[in-house]
Structure 1
């Protein structure tokens, strides 16, 4: 059974047998996530989450990052995971179909701090969490995102539960019960992209993972095989990915944190923009295109490639992160696409708003479904002196 295999792998893999290369990669992932979180703590959604943790959090000595505040592991992980994803600058993982680190890193640091774990154990728990996230994402396939569900939230709660249970000393049977609880916490809607609720998803995953772990250790009952079978998590969310038996057999072989590894972002916006940004940057450089000569920009996506880009007429900084129209407009204005680019005043500047209607989306006929880290994009810029085009396959 897949749930049992996941639980046994998460609990019974000794930290000493996690490859040193995976531990090193885990360290890099922790650093990237912490950097994003510390930059994100001043964002309104992170300040709200931190205030919630202070005013409503439980007892405990776990740190809320960026604050002189300690609370319970679950509540600290909640606030920290929201801060980590607040800027949408945190890494992504192709197999997981989203931002696994933003949930798992705050989970392992909070659970590790509560348990007094050493550094290698925390990094091993993170690597194992990414392994679980990758296998979950591969099992879901692209049907999850196509159905309106946020993959980050779906895989994150399962991965966070496994990581927390490992650091909290659960056995495999207890983790199976915890996963039964976590299975009922799988959620997150794409409709909330471009709002503060998107980073809430990662906070929910971290808090739910630690809570489910505690409940599993305390003896709560649940379906012990919640992930597989009729009415299980994969079936209920219309998974169309790889066979669970093959994924279970692949646990801990190549290690997802190494292959394909975390993809670190170059720009603080949705990954579904990134290939097009790369193509547009090269066109601007090669042809010295100016905004005043542009008549139209066409960005071509494979089917499903722009699902996450929910904002076609953005009016806020958060909406701008999920808008290829704004991103291209900003680039035409020679904006370097840094954190200040994605603020409300920058999105609403007259020059950007005037260019946004000139950016059009086209879907490339193809079999299957794709996403921001899979496939390719074509950018075509029509100007008064000619048309320039570039295909980009690399994010």
Structure 2
């Protein structure tokens, strides 16, 4: 009888491009475009510079490109740095049921593998889709126990998706991919204590790197056992000791797609506060609100807002990304939630700090993760209310292609000339017709 790890390996190796839902290929392009936009924008940040300088000093073989630079390094180093860049601003996509960020660990591994091996765009897109599905399925199988224990699911589930995507692209057999899962699963890492620091995006980069390495090693004969996921001392037993769901991993695999529950972010911060930000911005614009008008901002939210983003007094910009109070205050003062709202200077701005002190949240019964009931009490006595049922960027209310392109142009324009950025976008949208990814990778370099 096959183990659960062998079953997911069989799904990956048997999956054909023609069997994948048409929407999934289009969504793969959208997530790639989003990754390029946010990685380009992040490429000059302090944390990015640290890893880029490290990659330069490694003097590795020039196999794959680092986004937003003129550098090539080893495929595994490129996967690490690009995964870090993709997650650095917390502007990447999110699988809503589990808060997994699939793109940051998977696309960098797949893209580096494709560039190093000369893979065509058709196969590259398919590899990402199956990798993303595996990561989402792994995440679902341990949700919510794993995250509640303190694990960062993007790093721990993402490494399986990275191995699946890279392994699919280099043609691993079922047994080889089972071994790759064994290697990647034993390297799965990331704890939530480092949220608000460079440690969080490192989880994504490390997952991309380790998934790619595991696939490459397995091709050469590396062994990893037959059931890293379900074994007596495997991933479920060790990293999700309070519970797991076998059905969530393998039931209707290839028929029901968890990847469809993925969404792109309109704001560059923890996704659970997005409904609050959207509601604040809508009321701000509707009533022309100014900071001095505000008596208080009160939100009735999902429990995860208080669990993940209750930082009343962030000190640095990265901490602001995990402060619902700061997110709401910046939305009121600036009418935005881009990375510019999460600098060290911005979190210490007196006007924003003053508004931030007036923001509070309580848990609402049956309030979903993409919902909020918000009330702004004004100094003149008025009480303004806004109910966001499904925030923009959620699977129920996804960003349109036009909205995504607006985000892409704004962020890529910080680094690339306009003509190069437009050509890069065209290369993404036409990727399924490309004989290789070389042009795309050349265009993403600055």
**Fold-level match, TM-score > 0.5?**
yes
User: How far off its partner does 1:287 sit?
Assistant: 4.2
Q: Is 2:393 aligned against 1:391?
A: no
Give the distance between the partners of 1:238 and 1:222, measured in 2 at CA: 20
Report which stretch shifted further, 78-87 or 290-299: 290-299
Determine if contact 1:4/1:225 at 8 Å carries over to the other structure: yes
- Cα distance, 1:82–1:380 mapped onto 2, change above 3 Å: same
TM-score (norm 1): 0.91
Q: 1:286 to 1:69 in 2, by over 3 A?
A: closer
CA shift, 1:242, in A, is: 7.0
Contact 2:110 2:169 in 1 (8 A): yes
Tell me which residue corresponds to 2:336. 336
Q: CA, structure 1 residues 189+276, in 2 after alignment: closer, same or farther (shift >3 Å)?
A: same
Q: Deviations over 1:184-211 (max 9, x none)?
A: 2222122212111211111101001011
| 1:292 counterpart residue number | 292
Counterpart-to-counterpart distance in 1, 2:388 and 2:243: 25
Structure 1 Cα separation of the partners of residues 138 and 222 of structure 2? 23
Q: Which moved more, 1:345-354 or 1:277-286?
A: 277-286
Within 5 Å, give how 1:131-280 maps onto structure 2. 131-238=133-240, 243-245=245-247, 247-257=249-259, 259-260=260-261, 262-280=262-280
Q: In 1, distance between residues paired with 2:171 and 2:98? A: 25
**1:96–1:155 contact (8 Å) kept in structure 2:** no
Instruction: State the 1:246 CA deviation.
Output: 5.3
Q: Which residue is equivalent to 2:114?
A: 112
Query: Deviation at 1:350?
Result: 1.2
CA RMSD of aligned residues (A): 2.2
CA distance in 1, matches of 2:183, 2:115: 23
Partners of 2:357 and 2:57 lie apart in 1 by: 44
Unaligned runs of 5+ in 1: none
Report the CA distance between 1:249 and its aligned residue: 3.0
Question: Deviation digits for residues 22-71 of structure 1, max 9, x if unmatched?
Answer: 22221222111111111111111122111112212532421122222222
Partner of 2:311: 311
Question: Is residue 304–residue 369 contact of structure 2 (8 Å, CA) maintained in 1?
Answer: no
Q: Deviations over 1:242-287 (max 9, x none)?
A: 7323531322214334x22x31111111111101112222333444
What residue in structure 1 maps to residue 281 of structure 2?
281
**Bigger RCO of structures 1 and 2 (CA < 8 A, at least 6 apart):** 2
In the alignment, does 2:375 pair up with 1:380?
A: yes
Contact in 2 for aligned 1:185/1:208 (Cα 8 Å): yes
The Cα shift of 1:109 comes to 0.6
Contact kept in structure 2, 1:81 and 1:103, CA below 8 Å: yes
Measured against aligned partners, the alpha-carbon deviations of 1:76-108 in whole angstroms (never above 9, x if no partner) come to 111111111122111212245221111111111
Separation in structure 2 between the aligned mates of residue 392 and residue 170 of structure 1, nearest angstrom: 45
1:144 Cα shift?
Answer: 2.4
Instruction: Compare 319-328 and 233-242 and name the one that shifted more.
Output: 233-242
Query: Structure 2 vs 1, CA of residues 124 and 48 (structure 1 numbering), >3 Å: closer, same or farther?
Result: same
User: Relative to 1, partners in 2 of residues 1:241 and 1:163: Cα closer, same or farther, differing over 3 Å?
Assistant: farther
**Taking structure 1 as reference, are residues 21 and 353 closer, same or farther at Cα in structure 2, changes over 3 Å only?**
closer
How many residue pairs match? The answer is: 388
Q: Answer yes or no: is the 8 Å Cα contact 1:139–1:239 preserved in 2.
A: no
Deviation digits for residues 335-370 of structure 1 (CA, Å, limit 9, x no counterpart): 42233221111221111122222112322356xxx9
Give secondary structure in 1 for the equivalent of 2:308.
coil
Residue 296 of structure 1 aligns to a residue in which SS?
strand
CA distance in structure 2 between the aligned counterparts of 1:252 and 1:374, rounded to whole angstroms: 26
Q: CA deviation at 1:152?
A: 1.1
TM-score by length of 2: 0.81
Task: Give deviations 1:132-169, integer Å, cap 9, x for gaps.
Answer: 12211211212222222212112111100111111122
Unaligned runs of at least 5 residues, structure 2? 392-446
SS in 2 for 1:307: helix
Mapped to 2, the partners of 1:391 and 1:49 lie a distance apart of 42
Structure 1 window deviating more from structure 2 (339-348 vs 93-102): it is 93-102
The residue that corresponds to 2:412 in the other structure is none
Preserved contact between residue 283 and residue 289 of structure 2 (Cα < 8 Å): yes
Q: 2:428 maps to which residue?
A: none
